[in-house]
Structure 1
Amino acid sequence: MNDSRFMKAADIQEILGVSDSMAYKIIRQLNDEMIAKGYHTVRGRISRKYFEEVFYGSSAKED
């Protein structure tokens, strides 16, 4: 896992211990949520900040 602004399916697989297809499903769901809020997204990637807010309640850098 790297420290870029966006996460790939492999990053989500490693963090959550889920399958490849589940990781992509999570990315699609989170991207749909971001689109509904008016944000732009990158297909197949998810904002690391948004992922951390959804799964941990805050950005990991705040801890």
Structure 2
Amino acid sequence: MSSFYKAKEVAKILDISVTQSYRIIKKLNEELDKKGYITIAGRVPKKYFEEKYYI
């Protein structure tokens, strides 16, 4: 089991389009970059996503 959400998973969780989920992932990854973390395009850490979206 991966510790990352992919764009399709984010889209399903938030009930949005995959295109919009890529935009959200990009924004979250930019925040992580500023904090000094290494990120993967098109994926977001589950823990960070769940913190930001109160899941």
TM range (shorter): over 0.9
In the TM superposition, what are the counterparts of 1:52-63 in structure 2 within 5 Å?
A: 52-56=50-54
The TM-score normalised by the length of structure 1 is: 0.82
**2-structure distance, mates of 1:5, 1:23:** 17
- Give the % identical residues: 45
Runs of 4+ off more than 3 Å? none
- Unpaired segments of 5 or more residues in structure 1? none
Q: 1:24 aligns with which of 22, 25, 39?
A: 22
Q: List aligned pairs for 1:1-63, cutoff 5 A.
A: 3-56=1-54
CA RMSD of aligned residues (A): 1.1
Q: Deviations over 1:4-59 (max 9, x none)?
A: 20010010011000011100000000000000011110111000000001111xxx
Report the structure number with the largest CA radius of gyration.
1
Kindly provide the amino acid, as one letter, of the partner of residue 5 in structure 2.
Answer: M
Q: Which has the higher contact order (CA 8 A, sep 6+)?
A: 2
**What code does the residue aligned with 2:52 have?**
V
Q: How many aligned positions are there?
A: 55
Counting strand residues as a fraction of each chain, which structure ranks higher? 2
List gaps (5 residues or longer) in structure 2: none
